[in-house]
Amino acid sequence: MKSGSAFILAGVLAAVSLGQTQALAQSNLADVYRGKTINFIVGSDPGGSFGPYAQVLAEHMPKYIPESPKIIIKYTGGQSGGLQLANQIQSIMPADGLNMAMTQQTIVLNQVLQPQFAKYDARQWIWLGNMAPVRNMLSIWHTAPARTIEEAKNAEVIIGATGPSSPTFIVPALMNKFLNTKFKIVTGYKGAADLNLAMERGEVQGRGASWVSVQLSMPEAIADGRIKPLVFASITRDPSAPDVPTLAELMTDPVHKQVAEFLSAESDFGRSVFLPPGVAADRVAMLRAAFEKTMKDEAFLADAKRMNLTIEPMSHEVLARITEKVVSAPKEVVDLAKF
224: CATH: 3.40.190.10
Given this model, what pLDDT does residue 192 score?
A: 87
Given this model, what pLDDT does residue 258 score?
A: 93
Same domain, 173 and 249: yes
Asked if the model's pLDDT at residue 7 lies above 60, the reply is no
pLDDT band for position 106 (cuts 50, 70, 90): confident
Given this model, what pLDDT does residue 4 score?
A: 47
- How many domains in the chain? 2
Task: Establish if 311 belongs to a structural domain.
Answer: yes
% of the chain beyond a pLDDT of 90 = 73
Asked if the model's pLDDT at residue 151 lies above 60, the reply is yes
102: CATH: 3.40.190.150
Question: Residue 264 phi/psi, 5° resolution?
Answer: -75, -10
Same domain, 49 and 124: yes
Given this model, what pLDDT does residue 80 score?
A: 64
Same domain, 79 and 115: yes
Cα–Cα distance, 164 to 180 (Å, whole number)? 19
Same domain, 148 and 261: yes
Given this model, what pLDDT does residue 167 score?
A: 85
291-300: average pLDDT: 98
Same domain, 196 and 78: no
For residue range 24-71, what is the model confidence (pLDDT) as tens digits? 345 589 999 999 999 999 998 887 789 999 999 999 999 999 999 999
Given this model, what pLDDT does residue 10 score?
A: 39
Same domain, 46 and 127: yes
Task: Establish if 47 belongs to a structural domain.
Answer: yes
Mean confidence (pLDDT) of the chain: 89
Cα–Cα distance, 47 to 93 (Å, whole number)? 24
For residue range 198-238, what is the model confidence (pLDDT) as tens digits? 999 999 999 998 898 899 899 999 999 999 999 999 888 89
Task: Establish if 145 belongs to a structural domain.
Answer: yes
Task: Establish if 233 belongs to a structural domain.
Answer: yes
Residue 286: CB atoms within 10 Å: 20
Residues in CB range of 210: below 8 A, 6 or more apart = 48, 49, 134, 135, 136, 137, 167, 192
251-263: average pLDDT: 94
Task: Establish if 143 belongs to a structural domain.
Answer: yes
Task: Establish if 2 belongs to a structural domain.
Answer: no
Given this model, what pLDDT does residue 81 score?
A: 62
Same domain, 155 and 112: no
Residues of the domain holding 185: 136-266
253-272: average pLDDT: 93
Nearest CA to 131 out of 269, 324, 287, 307 is that of 269
More confident residue, 65 or 14: 65
Asked if the model's pLDDT at residue 166 lies above 60, the reply is yes
Asked if the model's pLDDT at residue 98 lies above 70, the reply is yes
Domain boundary among 266, 288, 318: 266
Residue 144: alpha-carbon gap to chain centroid? 29
Same domain, 122 and 240: no
Cα–Cα distance, 241 to 55 (Å, whole number)? 26
Residue 177: CB atoms within 10 Å: 15
For residue range 275-285, what is the model confidence (pLDDT) as tens digits? 999 999 999 99
- CB–CB of 102/40 below 8 Å? yes
pLDDT band for position 266 (cuts 50, 70, 90): confident
Same domain, 292 and 243: no
Task: Establish if 191 belongs to a structural domain.
Answer: yes
Same domain, 26 and 119: yes
Return the SS3 of 275. strand
pLDDT band for position 79 (cuts 50, 70, 90): low
Domain boundary among 266, 287, 317: 266
Asked if the model's pLDDT at residue 21 lies above 80, the reply is no
Domain boundary among 266, 286, 315: 266
Same domain, 129 and 141: no
Task: Establish if 157 belongs to a structural domain.
Answer: yes
Given this model, what pLDDT does residue 225 score?
A: 96
Same domain, 141 and 21: no
Asked if the model's pLDDT at residue 3 lies above 50, the reply is no
